Amino acid sequence: MEIFERLKAAVPDDWNAYVGHPFVRGMGDGTLPEPAFRHYLVQDYLFLIQFARAYALAGYKARSLADLKAASAGVSAIVDTEMDLHVRLSERWGLSAADLESAVEARATVAYTRLVLEAGMSGDLLDLYTALAPCMIGYAEIGTALAALPGGLSPDNPYREWIAEYSGEGFQEAAQAARDQLDRLAADRLTEARWPALVDLFRQATRLEADFWEMGLTLAE
């Protein structure tokens, strides 16, 4: 079985709480309050900056050209593409680039991003990509599930752009690349002795993704 599927199967309740969070359901049926989505957009901008740093750290930790290339592609996907998309989407929601840049990180943003960076700093690439997996692969799963709902992509759903982005081919391919990268790393580095610590790390990252939705929904700072 793919290592991602094994990790997910090890923490079913935490995984379902993340991908089925009320914030996600509210985007699917269009009932999510708009202030919650705006708060999420601002924090997600700050989140993406820290995630770009995490891929940069993956470059530092790389021991092969293939791993260095994967890390470089991760930085570029965020810095050259994702951030621009995010700024444009935020503008359509009434948030200027200055609003995004001047925002202060919420505690949930700090908690999640620093867990990932710490996993990468104190561990190896398998730890780092395990901590990154819920984000890339989870959003692809959420995008696909919401796009399949009757009203998911309908013109009256205010969240259709978000759903289209994450269910779209480009992001689905990036998520598949993240799965493949995790499998390659596991083939070289995974031992039975390491497994419990990797599951714990995956569980923590998954819980902090759910907390990120909760932060959006409750407007927590």
Ligand X SMILES: Cc1ncc(C[n+]2csc(CCO)c2C)c(N)n1
Q: Residue 209 catalytic?
A: yes
Shortest distance, CB of residue 192 to ligand X, whole angstroms? Answer: 30
Which SS3 state, helix, strand or coil, does residue 17 take?
A: helix
Of 18, 37, 47, 129, the one binding ligand X (CB under 6 A) is 47
Dist CA 22 CA 8 (whole Å): 20
Dist CA 68 CA 83 (whole Å): 21
For residue 190, give the H/E element and its range. none
Question: Which candidate in 5, 135, 173, 192 is catalytic?
Answer: 135
Of 27, 70, 71, 78, the one binding ligand X (CB under 6 A) is 78
Q: Does the CA dihedral 142-116-9-62 come out positive or negative?
A: positive
Q: What letters, b where the CB count within 10 A reaches 16 and e where it falls short, cover 173-191?
A: ebbeebbebbebbbeeebe
Task: Count Cβ atoms within 10 A of the Cβ of residue 92 and give its class: 0-12 exposed, 13-18 middle, 19 or more buried.
Answer: exposed
Of 128, 162, 212, 217, the one binding ligand X (CB under 6 A) is 212
Which residues between 143 and 182 bind ligand X (CB under 6 A)? 174
Nearer to ligand X, 56 or 192 (CB): 56
Task: State phi, psi for 168 to the nearest 5 degrees.
Answer: -70, 160
Shortest distance, CB of residue 193 to ligand X, whole angstroms? Answer: 30
Contact between residue 104 and residue 20 where contact means Cβ atoms under 8 Å apart: no
Of 70, 77, 182, 217, the one binding ligand X (CB under 6 A) is 77
Of 125, 135, 182, 185, the one binding ligand X (CB under 6 A) is 135
Shortest distance, CB of residue 16 to ligand X, whole angstroms? Answer: 17
Dist CA 23 CA 41 (whole Å): 13
Nearer to ligand X, 159 or 212 (CB): 212
Shortest distance, CB of residue 213 to ligand X, whole angstroms? Answer: 8
Q: Residue 5 catalytic?
A: no
Q: Which residues are catalytic?
A: 135, 209
Sites of contact with ligand X (CB under 6 A): 44, 47-48, 51, 77-78, 82, 135-136, 139, 174, 209, 212
